[in-house]
């Protein structure tokens, strides 16, 4: 039995906006003692045919199996690159088609920082699936979400080779039929992207208190200590982190259009972001475009 001065182990769900900073959060959280954050380790298509009770039972079993393996071997399956977790699952530079490629695979990752008593916090992140399931998951797990300036999200989606670039999120659609139906009625990739953003931000806003929603920008600005909302020990993080909201890989020609459309839909991003924050990022992106001309 663990001694009384040890915090009992917790199983934590990390949801959020895809391309919103959840991979970075995992890397930072793994710097903490007795904390493991796994990046999309589960085959969540297995949840599609299950009822709500069985969904929860399956997920609890996945946590238990991962926790057992970590206790025995200090390893677990997680998305990574060359045996380590990475803060960005996509390449920094675009390929010939203009899109950044996925550089991660599901692989065995070592977590040698775990103590021998087996008492640790286990965090599993799956932004798409866990976000649409938040209304169910919040009553059974500790749940948190990471969000990001929606203008940066749209630019990132349109710079990466993944289904969201076309306005689809397959596993999330299978788990949320209304989302799937709405996307099928949309006539363009951008319209579908706005639908996904709106649905995800709405679910997060309605399912979680603001204290459990972390902004990518705040994580960057605090050097990671904003993650103390998830693990108190993170208050000691003080890294020099780079804000990628003005990534050179983003298509500056789309900035004005994306900005205008977002400002017409404040219900998508309030209360997490303000009009001024979206305009400030738009201005920074346009300045960067001008400086390169």
3-state per-residue secondary structure call for 86-132: CCCCECCCCCCCCCECECCEEEEEECCCCCCCCCCEEEEECHHHHHH
pLDDT at site 113: 85
Give the global pTM.
Answer: 0.93
Task: Give 50-57 contacts, CB < 8 A, sequence gap 24+.
Answer: 52/136, 55/133, 55/136, 56/136, 56/137, 56/140
Q: 14-30: buried (b, 16+ CB within 10 Å) or exposed (e) per residue?
A: bbbbbbbbbbbbbbbbb
DSSP annotation of 238 reads: -
- What residue has token string 């689809």? 168
pLDDT at site 184: 97
Q: Three-state DSSP class for 230? A: coil
CA dihedral 242, 130, 90, 231 (to 10 degrees): 30
pLDDT tens per residue across all 293 residues of the chain? 333 333 345 999 999 999 999 999 999 999 999 999 999 999 999 999 999 999 999 999 999 999 999 999 999 999 999 999 999 999 999 999 999 999 999 999 999 988 766 689 999 999 999 999 999 999 999 999 999 999 999 999 999 999 999 999 999 999 999 999 999 999 999 999 999 999 999 999 999 999 999 999 999 999 999 999 999 999 999 999 999 999 999 999 999 999 999 999 999 999 999 999 999 999 999 876 544 43
pLDDT at site 78: 98
Q: CA angle, corner 65, sides to 138 and 130, nearest 5?
A: 30
What does the domain layout of the chain look like in residue ranges?
11-292
CATH C-level class of 11-292: alpha beta
């Amino acid at each position: 039995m663990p001694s009384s001065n040890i915090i009992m182990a917790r199983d934590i769900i990390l949801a959020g906006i895809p391309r919103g900073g959840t991979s970075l959060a995992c890397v930072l959280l793994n710097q903490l003692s007795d904390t493991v954050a796994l990046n999309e380790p589960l085959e969540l298509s297995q949840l599609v045919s299950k009822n709500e009770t069985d969904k929860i039972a399956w997920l609890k079993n996945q946590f238990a199996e991962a926790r057992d393996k970590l206790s025995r071997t200090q390893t677990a399956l997680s998305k990574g690159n060359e045996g380590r977790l990475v803060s960005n699952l996509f390449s920094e530079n675009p390929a010939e088609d203009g899109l950044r490629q996925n550089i991660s695979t599901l692989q065995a990752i070592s977590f040698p920082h775990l103590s021998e008593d087996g008492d640790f916090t286990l965090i599993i992140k799956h932004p798409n699936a866990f976000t649409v399931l938040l209304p169910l998951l919040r009553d059974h797990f500790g749940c948190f979400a990471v969000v990001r300036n929606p203008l940066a999200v749209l630019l990132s989606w349109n710079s990466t080779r993944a289904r969201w670039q076309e306005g689809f999120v397959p596993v999330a659609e299978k788990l949320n039929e209304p989302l799937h139906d709405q996307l099928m009625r949309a006539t363009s990739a951008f319209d579908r992207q706005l639908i996904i953003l709106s649905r995800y931000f709405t679910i997060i806003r309605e399912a979680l208190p603001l204290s459990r929603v972390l902004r990518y920008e705040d994580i960057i600005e605090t050097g990671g200590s904003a993650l103390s909302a998830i693990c108190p020990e993170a208050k000691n993080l003080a890294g020099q982190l780079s804000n990628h909201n003005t990534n050179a890989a983003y298509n500056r020609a789309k900035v004005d259009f994306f900005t205008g459309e977002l400002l017409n839909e404040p219900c998508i991003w309030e209360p997490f972001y303000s009009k001024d924050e979206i305009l400030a990022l738009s201005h920074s992106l346009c300045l960067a475009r001008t400086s390169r001309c």
